[in-house]
Amino acid sequence: MAQKQFEFPKVGLLIPIVVVILILFAKSTVTIGPGEGGVIFETLGDGINTDKTYGEGFHIVAPWNNMIVRKVRQQSISDEMNVLSVNGLEVKVNGTIWYEPEYVNLGNLIKTKGEDYEVELLDPAINAAARSVVGRYTPEQLYSSKRDVIEQEILDEVTKLLKGQFLVVKKVLVEDVKLPPTIKQAIERKLKQEQESLEYEFRLVTADKEAEKVRIEAKGKADANKILSASLTDKILQDKGIEATIKLSESPNSKVIVIGSGDSGMPIILGNQ
């Protein structure tokens, strides 16, 4: 009886097998880029697996599962909101929000809010906070001096609204507040008048200080002269006169002869020698 020889599969049969293997391998590998995180959607299980967030790099997953990849670093979105001031005037506020999802809770965030959690969660919270905060201020305060206070108050409001929602807002920037042209012009005129008034008051204060300085210097000089005059008594003047006359008579070239003094104490000069 002849022995049966082993025969290799034909090439036509190997090609489909290789293709299937390559497809399965491609579906089983995921590369997560810098600043990204991933969560597994288990098709045959309970959907999003909230137990683990996958970090950057190469990962292998079961071909029947799906890796959802989202950015987990700090991100920003900008928006223009129409809100009402405290007196009912409509203003437009341009702002930018810095935010990031909680890395360890990325699965919970996507499971509860969906992959578009910015639209479902962040946008409504920001709009609600902006309306609440801006509604406390007048157009003039919004336009000029309250920008930093408004930013912090909006951030505080958003933080309260998003508490326990697995999304963190880091900072709120109010970049521009647009008012109706007539209101804006009125505010600018008022601010200009206030600035001119402050400059005028400053000049008045400076002039008063200069005048006070002059008065103090004049009073000081007057007091000094008064003290000097009071110190020059008749006796001192007599003594100084006698002293000067004696020195003059002792001079080799002097022609003056002093023979005594009068009742007033002043020296009596006889005449030239």
Which pLDDT belongs to residue 101?
95
Exposure b/e, 255-265, CB count within 10 A at least 16 = b? ebebeeeeeee
Q: What would the two tokens of residue 211 be?
A: 């005048």
Q: What would the two tokens of residue 114 be?
A: 């969906």
Q: Is the pLDDT of residue 214 over 90?
A: no
Q: Is the pLDDT of residue 69 over 90?
A: yes
Which residue reads 């002059």 in tokens?
A: 214
Q: Is the pLDDT of residue 200 over 70?
A: no
13-22, 48-57, 113-122, 139-148: range with lowest mean pLDDT: 13-22
Q: Count of residues for the chain?
A: 273
Q: Mean per-residue pLDDT for 176-194?
A: 68
pLDDT digits (tens, 9 = 90+) for 88-126: 778 888 889 999 999 999 999 999 999 899 888 999 999
Helix (H) or strand (E) holding 209: helix 181-231
Q: How far apart are the C-alpha atoms of 225 and 204, rounded to whole Å? A: 32
Which pLDDT belongs to residue 242?
62
Q: Between the ranges 27-31, 82-86, 99-103, 192-196, where is the mean pLDDT highest?
A: 99-103
pLDDT digits (tens, 9 = 90+) for 154-172: 999 999 999 999 999 999 9
Q: Between the ranges 54-58, 79-83, 88-92, 203-207, where is the mean pLDDT highest?
A: 54-58
Q: Is the pLDDT of residue 258 over 60?
A: no
Q: Mean per-residue pLDDT for 16-33?
A: 68
Q: What's the whole-model pTM score?
A: 0.59
Q: Mean per-residue pLDDT for 213-237?
A: 72
DSSP 99-164: EEE-GGGHHHHHHHH-TTHIIIIIHHHHHHHHHHHHTTS-HHHHHTT-HHHHHHHHHHHHHHHTTT
pLDDT band at 14 (very low <50, low <70, confident <90, very high): low
Q: Mean per-residue pLDDT for 204-227?
A: 78
Q: Is the pLDDT of residue 211 over 70?
A: yes
Exposure b/e, 166-175, CB count within 10 A at least 16 = b? bbebeebebe
Which pLDDT belongs to residue 44?
87
Q: Between the ranges 99-103, 236-240, 250-254, where is the mean pLDDT highest?
A: 99-103
pLDDT band at 270 (very low <50, low <70, confident <90, very high): very low
